[in-house]
Every structure is written in C-alpha cells, then in structure tokens.
Amino acid sequence: MSMAPPTLPRTTAESASRRSVLLPSDPAPPAPLLTTQHNVDLWPSTPGFKGFWGWVQRRCDRIRGREIVTGRYDTAAEGIQHLMRMLDSMMAWVEEIPPLPQENQRFGNLAFRKYIKLVEERLPPLLQTPPLPPALPGQLLPLFLNSHAFGHPTRLDYGTGHELAFVLGLWCCVVSGWIGGEHKEDEEDELVLRVFARYLDLTTLLQKTYRLEPAGSHGVWGLDDYCFLPYLFGSAQLLGGSFTPAESLSLALNPPPAPAATSSASSGMTPTPTHPATDAPATTTAVASTAVSSAFANNNHNDNDNAPPVPPRITDLYTLSLYRLTTFKRGASFSEHSPLLYSLSQLPSWAKPHSGLRKMFLGEVVGKRVVVQGLWRLTSECPRGDESDVGNEAVRRSAGERVTPREGKTGQSSTPQRPEMSYERQTRARARAFGTPSTIIPPIPTLY
C-alpha cells in the first residue's frame, strides 16, 4: 500500500531563500571559490548556501517514512529521466575501461584516469541532449567535471566533497526550474530517492572497479570513508518508524537471503510508488556482475535474465550505506572499524542520530576547507575580504571553544592564529552533537 508524501508548509525563511537564489544568466568563468578558510566560514551566510541547505532540510522532512524509488522511470519527469539515462550510460562506460593489472598497490588503479577522460569527452554532449535551460549547463558541468563529482583522476580518490558536488548539481536543476517547483515537489524528492541512489550505484561501482582511495579519510574518526549524505537522507527516511538503529545495523551485517525478506511492514517504511517503464536502458550483465558486490546494486532496473541476482533489497539509504561499508572494511568487528556508526546504532530512535548528522554535516563537511575547496562555480559567489585562515569556527564553537572575531586590516588578524583543534576536542564535539558518550582513541593520521 502506497502513501503520498506529507504535505508540509514552507517556512517564510525557506520560501524567501528559494526566491532569492537564481542561476546567473552571464556567469563568471568557472573557478574554485572556497580555497581559503575565511571563504569557507562565510559560505553558510550566502544566499546560495542558505537556499541549498534549506532544500536539503526540506527533502529530509518530506522523505520521512518513504522508500528508495526503484524500477523503470519512463513516466517520471523529463529531467529525472535525463539524469537517470546519464548515470546509466556512465555505468556502462566502465565496461569500456577495464582496470589495469596492479600489484603491491592497495589503492588507485590508473585505468580510472582513462575512464574520467572518457567522461569528460562524452558527458557534455550527452547532458545537453535534449537541451537544458540556458543557465543550467554553466553550473552543472563545472560541478560534475571540474569538481570531480565522480572521483579525482589525479589523486585516484573519492570522498564527501565529490559527493557534495553532485548533490549541489541536483539542487541547481531545481533552482533553474528544470525539475520540481512549488507544485511539483515530488520530483525534487525523487532526485534524492531515485537519482541520488543511482549516483551511489555508480560511485560504488567506480570505487570497487578502480580501487579509489578514500579522500581525506579520518580512519576510525570519521563517519564513512566515502560518503555522508546517504546517512543524513537515510536517517530522515527512518524517522518516526519502528525500525530502530540497532535493527538497521543488524540487517546490514546479516542481510536475509531473499529480497522478499526485507519488507515495508518489517522496516516501518511506506512504499513509494515506482514507475513501470518500457524504454529505460537495461544495465549490462558485466556491469551488474561488478556492481553485485554493492548493496546499492538493488537499485538496478535491468531485465536481463542472464544477470546475476542482486543483493537483498534494503529500502533506505542509511542501511544501504552500512551494508556497503561492510564490503570495503573487513578483518575487524564493526565496532572497531566504525565506532561512530556503531555508537549511533546503540541509540533507541532516529531522532538523535538525524539531528546529530545535520550538525555534523555543517561542521565536518561544508565547514571543512579540505572537503569543499575543490568545488567550482557556485550559484552565489562567496564574499571576499579577509583571507586569513583562522580555523574552523563552526567546529570550535560546537566544542565549546570561544572564538574571537577577526579584526584589523584585510589579510591580517589582531589576535594570534589558533592552532587546529585536537582530536580529543573533535571527538568530544561530535559526541555532544549526537548526545553520546565520547571515547578518545589514539589519533590516526589523516590522508589529506
């Protein structure tokens, strides 16, 4: 039995921020804007970021209790179909660039550079067929290609900054009016429940095939080596349901043998209507064979009888991410290699995990220069001014540290620059955000 998404009134601030963000008709040449900590600190105050963050929160509110959308998509909105065909094509291109033989190298297959070169050649004409709204390509291509939304070809890595670039691209599709709108919010929800889920299919396939290194991994200190937003959106899906964090982890670690064993009734999720299709491209057998090791492969919509069976169907992004994590991290118990996620599984409901993930997203993803410095061409240019790097104020405040406002001339500060916050303070800050006890673990060097 399906249920329509809840009708939620927009707040005055959200409506105002939505109206105030427009794609520039004559944009400046693409360039990275968040290359200094000062600009990163100012980014949350810009109309562009406020509009994006309001959109993310709105999606979290609307997808509560709903499942990932699978199946064919020929009756979906034209923009949804276009993005899905783009992602399906990119998955098929993996077949054309097989990984090179490598020995004594844990991460990074050089064949990934050939794959990204192929994407750079084929994606621009593919993305603009049929034509997009006039201002949209100038935003999407820098986010998808210059910001390396599918992984960095030089460093052979992938992480939360690349994921953020893709989701910013989805939001640009909304701002341009191409997808969604005041009376078509179901399309915007489908960007998360269908298109973003399909993007995770692709990136998981790329990580598996080309052994991409986690970008900026914190090891056991981080939430996940490769992604963040699936946990934020997934916890929103599960809010208010009977499916607990402990059950989510248990399902991820011990999936049932048959897809039918994971049902909407057992998970507390409300099925989202899917669209039967007749013209959606089928995923090839070889791609499905590679992707089968990832739980995200259950979002495939292939009708190839020769394709191998996909993993059990899990209906929310949070549990899928946990399942996927177990395919990358082996040889230790879950509580040892992912203590933060394990601590969230001990909470009785999804309220604290979701609210904590919202705070962590602002502090650990968009608030970290090393994560966002690769983003190109934002919809609202960051204010310029004092370029001094004074550290991450948002994280410092969450840790209870007093932050002195910057003074003096541009590029100077009248107070000494504060040292980076210690790992112990970061751990306690994250624990306060989630309302869980903090456990201090010996520092692990970052790979920035």
Q: Where are the domains of the chain?
A: 40-365
Q: What pLDDT, on the 0 to 100 scale, is given for residue 256?
A: 73
Which residues sit opposite 152 in a β-bridge?
157
Q: Shortest CA distance to 174 belongs to which of 72, 269, 281, 83? A: 83
Q: What is the reported pLDDT for 41? A: 93
Q: Rounded to an integer, what distance in angstroms lies between the CA atom of residue 342 and that of residue 364?
A: 18
pLDDT number for residue 117: 97
What integer pLDDT is reported at residue 18 of this predicted model? 54
C-alpha distances (whole Å) from 328 to each of 321, 336, 420 are 11, 14, 30
Is residue 151 within 8 Å of 116, Cβ to Cβ? yes
Q: Which residue has the higher pLDDT, 1 or 435?
A: 435
Under 8 Å between Cβ of 299 and 197: yes
Q: pTM surpassing 0.95?
A: no
Class of residue 332 by CB neighbours under 10 A (exposed 0-12, middle 13-18, buried 19+): exposed
Residues 6+ apart with CB under 8 A from 368: 40, 392, 395
Given this model, what pLDDT does residue 242 score? 93
Residue-level pLDDT at 328: 83
The helix (H) or strand (E) run that includes residue 340 is helix 339-345
The pair of structure tokens assigned to 244 is 């607990």
End-to-end Cα spacing for the chain: 47
Cα 217 from Cα 448, distance rounded (Å)? 7
Amino acid letter, 250 = S
> What is the mean predicted confidence (pLDDT) over 315-335?
88
The string of pLDDT tens digits covering residues 9-42 is 655 445 544 555 667 666 677 888 899 999 999 9
Alpha-carbon span 330 to 344, nearest angstrom = 20
Angle at 192 between CA 393 and CA 91, to 5 degrees: 105
CA distance 107 to 102: 10
Task: Please answer whether residues 363 and 428 qualify as being in contact, where contact means their C-beta atoms are separated by less than 8 angstroms.
Answer: no
In Å, how far are 90, 116, 170, 321, 344 from 122, measured between CA atoms? 9, 10, 19, 29, 41
**Model confidence over 421-443: pLDDT tens digits?**
554 555 555 555 665 544 433 33
Q: Which residue has the higher pLDDT, 439 or 141?
A: 141
Predicted pLDDT at 129 = 86
pLDDT for 103 equals: 72
The residues, any chain, with a CB within 8 Å of residue 333's CB and separated by 6 or more, are none
pLDDT at site 333: 86
Nearest Cα residue to 435 out of 347, 304, 335, 315: 347
What does the pLDDT look like over 250-303, one tens digit per residue?
A: 999 988 765 443 344 344 454 444 333 434 433 332 333 333 333 344 444 443
